């Protein structure tokens, strides 16, 4: 297994509150909780709109996270559930359950005053969380193919110049982004590396949200005016 090759110069940054390093990190004693915590910070940092939250479905559909939780033959779904439980119990993140027609959706918010108020407004029906992302659950992570294999399978013969570009992209972008960019190019019949590269560049510069182009990190200050009750869901009350 090869070692980490280092952070590329243009890699995106994830905002993490300073108090996490002094008050939370020293208390974390399990890898599941640590991996889930960092993934939640990453996803929240690139969310847009109000309120900002991450769903359990989003996490369970993240190939990189689930692959990491499946190390040593472990069940990644159980590891994810355990990591989320520990995050909630520690108070790093807040958990809200919404009863839909066919299932229960689990939403996770950063534990701040603003997000506590946001949850209360959702519970009162004043804020609509909108259409939750439809993400397929990764039960068991499939075998990870290299970017060179993806290129040869979807585009054609690999040249030395393209190989250099692929290596740079592999260092710069998350693996799941690369897979999705190849898939998008194939779907549109744009089987060219330059087209795939533009997709990745746009996702990095504009933010990637559920497979679509979106904005970057949002400010945490300020809240919009109260909305009329709506949403088509029932809030599952949390136990005191």
Same domain, 152 and 129: no
**CATH code of 203's domain:** 1.10.10.630
Do residues 129 and 120 lie in contact, with contact meaning Cβ atoms separated by under 8 Å? Answer: no
Per-residue pLDDT averaged across 137-158, rounded?
A: 72
Q: Are residues 120 and 228 part of one domain? A: yes
For 13, 86, 142, 187, 234, the CA distances from 101, given in Å and listed in that order, are 38, 28, 31, 32, 9
Q: Which tens digit of pLDDT belongs to each residue from 174-212?
A: 888 898 899 888 888 889 999 999 999 988 887 665 444
pLDDT in tens, 31-85: 999 999 999 999 998 887 788 899 998 898 888 888 889 887 889 999 999 999 9
Q: Which residues pair with residue 208 across a beta bridge?
A: 213
Q: What is the CATH number of the domain that holds 51?
A: 1.10.10
Helix (H) or strand (E) holding 235, with range, is: strand 234-236
Tokens of 100: 């839909």
Can you state the percent helix, strand and coil of the chain, rounding each to 5?
50, 10, 45
Residue 104, SS3 per DSSP? strand
Phi and psi, residue 222, nearest 5°: 85, 145
For the whole prediction, is pTM greater than 0.75?
no
Q: For position 132, what pLDDT does the model report?
A: 60
Write out the H or E segment, with its range, that includes residue 67.
helix 63-69
Range of the domain at 187: 147-209
CB 117 within 8 Å of CB 223: yes
Which pair of tokens denotes residue 82?
């355990």
Computed from CA positions of residues 171, 176, 179, 185, in that sequence, does the dihedral angle turn out positive or negative? negative
The answer as to whether 16 is a domain residue is no
Q: Can you spell out the DSSP letters for 183-230?
A: HHHHHTT---HHHHHHHHHHHHHH-EETTEE------SS--PPPPPS-
Are 106 and 152 contained in the same domain?
A: no
Q: Which residue has the tokens 């309120």?
A: 51
């Amino acid at each position: 297994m090869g070692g980490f090759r280092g952070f590329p110069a243009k890699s995106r940054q994830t905002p993490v509150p300073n108090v996490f390093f002094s008050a939370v990190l020293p208390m974390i004693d399990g890898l599941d909780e640590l991996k889930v915590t960092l993934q939640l910070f990453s996803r929240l940092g690139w969310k847009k709109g109000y309120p900002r939250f991450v769903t359990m479905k989003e996490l369970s559909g993240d190939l990189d996270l689930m692959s990491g939780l499946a190390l040593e033959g472990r069940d990644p779904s159980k590891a994810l559930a355990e990591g989320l439980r520990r995050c909630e119990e520690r108070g790093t993140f807040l958990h809200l359950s919404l009863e839909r027609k066919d299932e229960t959706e689990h939403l996770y918010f950063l534990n701040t005053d603003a997000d506590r108020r946001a949850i209360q407004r959702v519970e009162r029906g004043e804020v609509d969380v909108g259409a939750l992302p439809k993400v397929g659950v990764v039960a068991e992570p499939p075998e990870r193919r290299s970017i060179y294999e993806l290129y040869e399978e979807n585009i054609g013969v690999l040249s030395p110049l393209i190989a250099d570009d692929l290596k740079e992209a592999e260092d710069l972008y998350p693996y799941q982004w690369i897979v999705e960019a190849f898939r998008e190019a194939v779907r549109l019949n744009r089987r060219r590396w330059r087209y795939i590269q533009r997709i990745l560049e746009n996702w990095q510069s504009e933010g990637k949200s559920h497979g679509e182009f979106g904005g970057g990190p949002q400010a945490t200050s300020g809240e919009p005016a109260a909305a009329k009750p709506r949403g088509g869901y029932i809030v599952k009350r949390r136990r005191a």
